[in-house]
Chain A
Amino acid sequence: QKEVEQNSGPLSVPEGAIASLNCTYSDRGSQSFFWYRQYSGKSPELIMFIYSNGDKEDGRFTAQLNKASQYVSLLIRDSQPSDSATYLCAVNPNSGYSTLTFGKGTMLLVSP
């Protein structure tokens, strides 16, 4: 069973701080990685994807991928209370299809 692991949290940070969310995956052949944000009672919303080792930046968000360590992270700079949500890591295993396996998510709480 291909697994995606996340710390369930909650991760609490003050407004303006950097929030660091982490994810590990078991399938070494995984090719693509996605971060979704899910507000309480809402459906997941895609915020970042990354395919290559290294960093990818989009506004206040940076995704980091290290395939050798089977580790992907999401950094949120200048965290805002509106960033408070559950962040889901999703991985496309090397299955040949566009299957997505999700972690359980990390709850982020940003306090004013």
Chain B
Amino acid sequence: EAGVAQSPRYKIIEKRQSVAFWCNPISGHATLYWYQQILGQGPKLLIQFQNNGVVDDSQLPKDRFSAERLKGVDSTLKIQPAKLEDSAVYLCASSRSTHGNTEAFFGQGTRLTVV
């Protein structure tokens, strides 16, 4: 079974530029998460999809971040315009079920550096 795929692996942009990350979850997984992990901290949930609907985006900075999950499969996370404090690893994860008792599996992440 293929894992969660993310691209790109690394991205360096200047502040005020825009950037997009792509995620392909494990086949058949209904739930998809985007997490932001700043160095030395645990992952922070940005947005959670169940199929193609949003169930939690309470910590997403909606003035600059947006995300979509078309047809309940792939997802894209966009930042526009980027700030220095957005430098982090952006992790995509997926889980099979919509219930709490299911494990989430992570992709390799995208390391974003904003200069």
Assembled-state Cα–Cα distance A72/B107 (Å) = 25
Assembled-state Cα–Cα distance A31/B45 (Å) = 18
Assembled-state Cα–Cα distance A103/B42 (Å) = 6
Knowing A97-B98, A98-B95, A98-B97, say if A34 contacts B103 (CB, 8 Å): yes
CB distance from B7 to the nearest CB of A (A): 14
CB distance from A27 to the nearest CB of B (A): 12
- Interface range on chain B (Cβ under 8 Å from partner): 20 to 34
Whether A45 and B48, one on each chain, are in contact in the complex, defined by CB atoms closer than 8 angstroms, is no
The majority secondary structure among interface residues of chain A is: loop
Whether B105 and A46, one on each chain, are in contact in the complex, defined by CB atoms closer than 8 angstroms, is yes
Excluding A46-B104, A100-B45, 10 further A-B contacts by CB distance (< 8 Å) are A43-B108, A45-B106, A88-B43, A94-B100, A97-B31, A97-B56, A98-B31, A98-B50, A102-B44, A103-B42
